[in-house]
Structure 1
Amino acid sequence: MQVLWIAVAAAAAFLISVLTGLWLIPVLRRAKIGQRIKEIGPNWHMTKQGTPVMGGLIFIAAVVLTAAGLLWQFKEDMAPVLCVLFLAVSSALIGFLDDYEKLTKKRNLGLTVIQKLVLQIAVTVIFLVLLEVLHISSGVVRVPFFNTEFTLPKIVYYIAATFIIMGTVNAANLTDGIDGLATGVTIPIACFFTAAAFMAGSQSVSVLSAAFAGGLLGFLIYNYNPAKVFMGDTGSLFIGGMVSGLAFVLDIPLIIIVVGLVYFIEALSDILQVGYFKLTHGKRIFKMAPIHHHFELCGWSEKKIFYVFSGVTLVLAALSVYGVRCLFL
């Protein structure tokens, strides 16, 4: 029966995403809510100028509406879902504010770094407190592949968890740099969490994860190269919130390092580039960061980067299923 609900959730979210896109994209075009392209990027990106942004609302609507429509079946197991949605939707609201600032200022700069950090820390801490108060997470960290677990002092756990969540959210944001990339990379991750939650016996979380995968797949129809719409920070921060939230409600935060490796390579390439540039007064490690832009400037097409990065994540997702299997079965 659980498998049936998973399939229904994925199909419903896919359909809602497709239908929402058919309606919302023309609305965004008419409202002239379009992306402003950075001049320092690859020059062929300038053709994307004006592509509708905030398209993340398409799959956010799909996930939230599917969750609201189906999860009444699992009333006794709703708390984890509500916590994940709190983190994801709150992160999306921060992204929405960022997108709004960019659009109103008519330049590719939104909220300041400090503003983002303060808001993200606040949301993350509230999420972690909810997990504790609602007894969703015991604070025990399960170690994938090794069938073991450990407990950290509460303050250490909170600090480490905050770094992991904020790191994941912002790494997902950096991955959204070319058509379909963040979407294509995240679909296998959502499928992994569907399988992990199923093995853990959490029906509601498996249904939510399936809705996440279905919503993204529907959005990919519009986001695949050449993209008809961009997810914007609204969508990419929602993705980061969903991924980190799902990991924490299942007590497997360390698996993000494996299944979300592409996210972290993207983020690390950006950190290394900035650090090296400052230390060497202008030298660079990569032609451009994050690393997907480096591959672009090496001659890779956006489609090739999409398939390689998504394919790598698909393999990592399969490996991660094996890694958590020993923890739940």
Structure 2
Amino acid sequence: MFDHKVLYIVGFLLSVGCMLAIMPRLIAYLHKINFGQTEREEGLASHKKKNGTPTMGGIAFILVPVILYLLFAVIGFFPLDTNIGIILLAYLGYGLIGFIDDYIIVVKKDNTGLKPWVKFLMQSVLAVAFFLLYASREPMDIWIPIANIRLNLGNFYFILVFLMFTAETNAVNLTDGLDGLCAGQMIIALVPFFIFSIRQGFDNIAFLIIIVIGALLGYLRFNKHPAQIFMGDTGSLALGGFISAVAMVLKQEILLVLIGGVFVAEVLSVVIQVTHYKRTHKRIFRMAPLHHHFEKGGMPETQVVHRFWFAGVILSALGLWLGVM
């Protein structure tokens, strides 16, 4: 019987190694077929130089962990249970929605991508499916940090899961606007869930999380400023679905809001900006999402990313402390 700690290390190193080997070839191939980013006309002038940078890099950090987990499962190291099934389906399902969106933007040269209502409908269908699959075998309750009690929400749990999946996937998607920001922030946010899964005895979930972290680290090597590749909606929606599913099966839905506080701030900045502008025709932020507000104020892109990462570390540490106290 192999020590799970050894398997975590082996899986992590394999995931990083596979990404470091795959990414240069993927970047070259995407360049060859002209799968490049098209910056919005109303976007920041400093971002115009990013036009043509390959996108859809999320394909790699989706497929590498999924294939690695399936290989380890076939060998017999980890089971393919319902919890893992939900997480993998969320990862692949939301990634597929993002892929369709990216395909329309890149291949069809339509920078609007999927119509918002179509994208939301597809996200909603997946959220409902995951709720039905999970609720068919688990109680509809949530764990309250600090108080250390479980509260049964009954049918209201559906609303929580629905909002969690749809809001989180869009929040992560909005965060993917600066080189390295989203990937680094997701690595930071996943660390507490890795520890939660070990403490709860879900070694298979811990293994899946650590190989996703490894894949993101490998990807970040090519996505840090100046980025050689972007994850696209393929990657950002997949990551939002992944962390939402992990939070659901680990009963850490409330702590997801805190640990993913940077993602929450990004999506709230857009909601606040749009709502306020429609009412007053005035802007609260220089530009939304929030990271562009700081950029437009003159802060260098790398400095914005590092400060957001630092905020993410603080929030993740606080969420981890609340989750284990």
TM range (shorter): over 0.9
Task: Tell me what 1:258 maps to.
Answer: 258
Which of residues 123, 131, 147 is equivalent to 2:134? 131
Structure 2 stretches lacking a partner, 5+ long:
none
- SS of equivalent to 2:86: helix
Q: Matches of residues 45-56 of structure 1 in structure 2 within 5 Å?
A: 45-56=47-58
Indicate how the Cα distance of structure 1 residues 68 and 45 shifts in structure 2: closer, same or farther if over 3 A, else same. Answer: same
| 2: CA distance, partners of 1:71 / 1:209 | 14
Task: Tell me what 1:305 maps to.
Answer: 304
Task: Tell me what 2:179 maps to.
Answer: 179
Q: Across the two proteins, how many residue pairs are aligned to each other? A: 322
1:60 Cα deviation (Å)?
0.8
- SS of equivalent to 1:254: helix
Letter of the structure 1 residue corresponding to residue 244 of structure 2: S
1:11 Cα deviation (Å)?
1.4
Q: Matches of residues 191-202 of structure 1 in structure 2 within 5 Å?
A: 191-202=191-202
1:104 Cα deviation (Å)?
2.9
1:77 Cα deviation (Å)?
5.9
User: Is the counterpart of residue 146 in structure 1 residue 147 in structure 2?
Assistant: yes
66-75 or 189-198, which deviates more: 66-75
Structure 1 stretches lacking a partner, 5+ long:
none
* Contact kept? 1:174, 1:290, Cα under 8 Å: yes
| 2: CA distance, partners of 1:169 / 1:148 | 28
123-132 or 238-247, which deviates more: 123-132
1:309 Cα deviation (Å)?
0.9
User: Is the counterpart of residue 104 in structure 1 residue 104 in structure 2?
Assistant: no
Deviations 1:264-311 (A, max 9, x none): 10000001111111101x210011000100100111111111111111
If the length of structure 2 is used for normalisation, what is the TM-score? 0.96
Letter of the structure 2 residue corresponding to residue 177 of structure 1: G
Task: Tell me what 2:23 maps to.
Answer: 21
* Contact kept? 1:6, 1:210, Cα under 8 Å: yes
* Contact kept? 1:195, 1:206, Cα under 8 Å: yes
1:116 Cα deviation (Å)?
0.7
RMSD, matched Cα: 1.3
* Contact kept? 1:88, 1:239, Cα under 8 Å: yes
| 1: CA distance, partners of 2:158 / 2:65 | 28
1:74 Cα deviation (Å)?
4.8
* Contact kept? 1:83, 1:127, Cα under 8 Å: yes
Indicate how the Cα distance of structure 1 residues 318 and 160 shifts in structure 2: closer, same or farther if over 3 A, else same. Answer: same
Task: Tell me what 2:59 maps to.
Answer: 57
Deviations 1:131-157 (A, max 9, x none): 123x2x322201123312100122x11
Runs of 4+ in 1 over 6 A off after TM superposition: none
Task: Tell me what 2:73 maps to.
Answer: 71
If the length of structure 1 is used for normalisation, what is the TM-score? 0.95
| 2: CA distance, partners of 1:77 / 1:151 | 27
1:76 Cα deviation (Å)?
4.5
Which of residues 95, 99, 108 is equivalent to 2:98? 95
Q: Matches of residues 186-225 of structure 1 in structure 2 within 5 Å?
A: 186-225=186-225
Which of residues 119, 123, 129 is equivalent to 1:120? 123
Task: Tell me what 1:321 maps to.
Answer: 320
Task: Tell me what 1:8 maps to.
Answer: 10
